[in-house]
Amino acid sequence: MPALTADGVSSGYGRTTIISDVTLSAERGTVTTIIGPNGAGKSTFAKTLVGILRASKGRIAVGDVDITRMSGHLIPRNGLVYVPQNDNVFKRLTVRENLEIGGFASRADPATRMAEILSIFTDLDKARDKRAGFLSGGQQNLLAIARALMVDPSVIILDEPTAGLSPAYTDVVWSQIERISKLDTAVVVVEQNVERALKHSDFVHIFVAGTNHVHGPAAEIAGLDLAAIFLGRSGAH
């Protein structure tokens, strides 16, 4: 059974439907990226998965637990966590304090989990008593990911974790994303950079105008005319 299942999901803001009939599933141990033009609905879909927005149609499940109507604050306890693009750390708190906050909904022992996380994110370990606001942008993004991992999730959703980072730090973040997936987690990443998505992920979903008709293994997507698909010129699948 997939760690995450979204089946025929529609949602939007107020009466405006932004995404419609989106179906996606993600398995533990894999990286799935969502790419597509600005305004295609990628973040709207991510927010719907984690209960910030309500699906008006369809079903969302984590493992065999239906979370479609679950309150957003209960969703992390069921193993699904989300890292928004901006404002994702408490800047006045230290690295360690940020991780402790992430541990509130932890399904694992928080102290053990923090030690595990700091052994993976060695830069954060070195800076564990620093205030988050003094970290670089890239380190703050890693801290946000590390904090979300404190609950030992089965699924983590990252909205543009490398936006605004240098190419060198983008490499660091992507290598951590691949590592996280190998910890038996399903990782779903919203990504602007198509080459990065194809290089680092197992599966790719292309969002155009609020839906994801084109999706598949990264190697298969790499062979398609992505420019035409992005412009809505190809019905491809």
Ligand X SMILES: Nc1ncnc2c1ncn2[C@@H]1O[C@H](COP(=O)(O)OP(=O)(O)OP(=O)(O)O)[C@@H](O)[C@H]1O
Q: Kindly tell me which of 42 and 205 has the beta carbon lying closer to Mg ion.
A: 42
What angle, 0 to 180 degrees and rounded to 10, lies between the N-to-C axes of helices 167-182 and 137-149? 10
Of 43-51, 122-130, 149-157, 211-219, which part binds Mg ion (CB under 5 A)?
43-51
Q: How many residues bind Mg ion (CB under 5 A)?
A: 2
Residue 33 sits in the site that holds ligand X (CB under 6 A): no
Residue 43 sits in the site that holds Mg ion (CB under 5 A): yes
The Cα–Cα gap between 98 and 110 comes to 12
Of 2-10, 37-45, 107-115, 224-232, which part binds ligand X (CB under 6 A)?
37-45
Residue 39 sits in the site that holds ligand X (CB under 6 A): yes
Residue 161 sits in the site that holds ligand X (CB under 6 A): no
DSSP lists the bridge partners of residue 61 as 5, 66
Q: Contacts with ligand X in 194-233 (CB under 6 A)? A: 207
Of 31-39, 59-67, 104-112, 120-128, which part binds ligand X (CB under 6 A)?
31-39
Among 22, 35, 40, 214, indicate the residue that binds ligand X (CB under 6 A): 40
Of 36-44, 138-146, 164-172, 222-230, which part binds ligand X (CB under 6 A)?
36-44
State the residues that interact with ligand X by CB under 6 A: 13, 18, 36, 38-44, 207
State the residues that interact with Mg ion by CB under 5 A: 42-43
